[in-house]
Amino acid sequence: MLLANGNIYLDYNSTTPIDPMVYEAMEPYYHSHFGNASSNHSLGKYNREAIDFAREQVAGLVGCKPEEIIFTSGGSESNNMALKGIAAKQGGQGQHIIVSKIEHPAILNVVQYLQHQGFRISYLPVDTQGVVQADDLEEIITSKTILVSVMHANNEIGSIQPINELSEYAHEAGALFHTDAAQSVGKIPVDVSDLGCDLLTLAGHKLYAPKGVGAIYIKEGVDMEPLIHGANHENGLRAGTENVAQIVGLGMAAEIAAQKLESEMLRQQNLRDRLQASLKQAFPEIRVNAGNTPRLPNTLSVSFAQLNALEILANLDEVLVSAGAACHSADGKGSGVLEAMQIPLNYQLGTIRITLGRFCDEALVQQASAILIKRISLLL
């Protein structure tokens, strides 16, 4: 995406711009359609119908029933709702929860909180490509395990996890299965029946909807405690007057994503692979993380042994990418994801993440590639 100031935006895994069609769909609900969806008058009923339609749109993207979609404020709330909600309701059956080592902080920090509440937390390792192995889950899971949570696709490196296989193991042991699909929904096919999950998180700002809106899929029959108590909104599972405009935006974003899914997967993967080949040709010694496993088609994580990611970013004013590791040169710490993959620290600290999106075209990516190669070459 070319920004107004001429910079090239290649950080779509951090957040996406709002699609113009999404913005257009939202706009009336900030003005003429501002009513409370719980009101019984015509304006309230109009907004209730808008929410119901958005619920159908989101359900259509992930293959579930509309009533199994609960709207939230975003991915972090959905993850908190899943883990804390199941822990509160199912904790009497066992206090063991399993997550992977490469989860987003919106999972890892939640289980740290639950550990302080008396729950026992186990962490699944990953292989050198950043993938959880089902055999490791089989070794860790017990009859006391109430929940397994493994992200569908990793936000840093893009590795896609074998969720259907992992959820099968969880169910055989009597545990529920949650997946954080914030990075995968809208980028690759996501169907809750195929994945076999009981709960699934999605975030609006990862698929061209606004920040501050998301959803959680809760399979019919799953019993959990609400995270937010109050009035009986969202089938009693999420109190608070609905943010109609943003919910409408999420619904439209889901519909657009479903329509464009196959074509955008192929287009973005082609652009990503060309960019990867260009960087590899210019810098033969770089490491491509998760390069030998299925990964998100838009995601490219590369590591330089002799450079620091923050130094690279400081010299890339025109191209907006991110440090692939949550690294801080001052304390010398690298990414927990890359560490779990047993990548040496110098490579961890020299990792950048380049992520493409709907508003990237071939000319823009070629331009970005040339700038990246030029600027990084000056640092070597």
Alpha-carbon span 189 to 304, nearest angstrom: 32
Check if 197 is active-site.
no
DSSP 137-179: HHHH--TTEEEEE--SB-TTT-BBP-HHHHHHHHHHTT-EEEE
DSSP letter assigned to residue 350 = T
How many residues comprise the chain? 380
Determine which one of 64, 197, 327, 360 is catalytic.
327
Q: Other C-beta atoms within 10 Å of 263: how many?
A: 9
Alpha-carbon span 313 to 376, nearest angstrom: 9
What crossing angle do the helices spanning 362-379 and 244-282 adopt, rounded to 10°?
60
102 within 8 A of 128, measured Cβ to Cβ: no
**Measuring CA to CA, which residue among 332, 235, 322 is closest to residue 12?**
322
Q: Which of the residues are catalytic?
A: 327
